Amino acid sequence: MYLRTTKRKNRDGSVVEYFQLAHNERDPESKKPVAHIIHSFGRADQLDRDDLVRLCRSIARVCGLEISDLSDDNQVKATAAGTDLPGEKTWHRQNHQGTL
């Protein structure tokens, strides 16, 4: 599963971005991966960032990860808890103030 972003261009030239939770499955006939939308979160500019961070923390808790919200840099960092291996990943979204 992954967070999918799609963009749509309006008549006035503005671009609107949407967030969706998706999962790829291989089509049995064409043998190509096909994205299946599990949940549509809606327009990125209308989402509550705190709700998405709370969802990230909930998922991370189940997966044994620790989430650090680096809101000054508009980043969210996940670190593997209880491991000796370096398990640190950082996700960065550009040009979207107040969203993941």
Residues 93 and 82 in one domain: yes
The model's pLDDT over 25-44, given as tens digits with 9 standing for 90+, comes to 999 999 999 999 999 999 99
Same-domain check for residues 68 and 42: no
Domain count of the fold of the chain: 2
Is there a single domain that holds both residue 42 and residue 52? no
Lowest mean pLDDT among 5-19, 49-63, 64-78: 64-78
Check: CB of residue 59 under 8 Å from CB of residue 51: no
- The residue segments making up the domain with residue 8 are 1-46
One domain, residues 98 and 52? yes
**Do 52 and 100 share a domain, yes or no?**
yes
Confidence of residue 94 (pLDDT cuts 50, 70, 90): very low
Side chain identity, residue 47: L
Same-domain check for residues 55 and 99: yes
**Is the domain of 71 the same as that of 99?**
yes
What are the structure tokens assigned to 81, written together? 């808890």
Q: What are the tokens at 95?
A: 């040009």
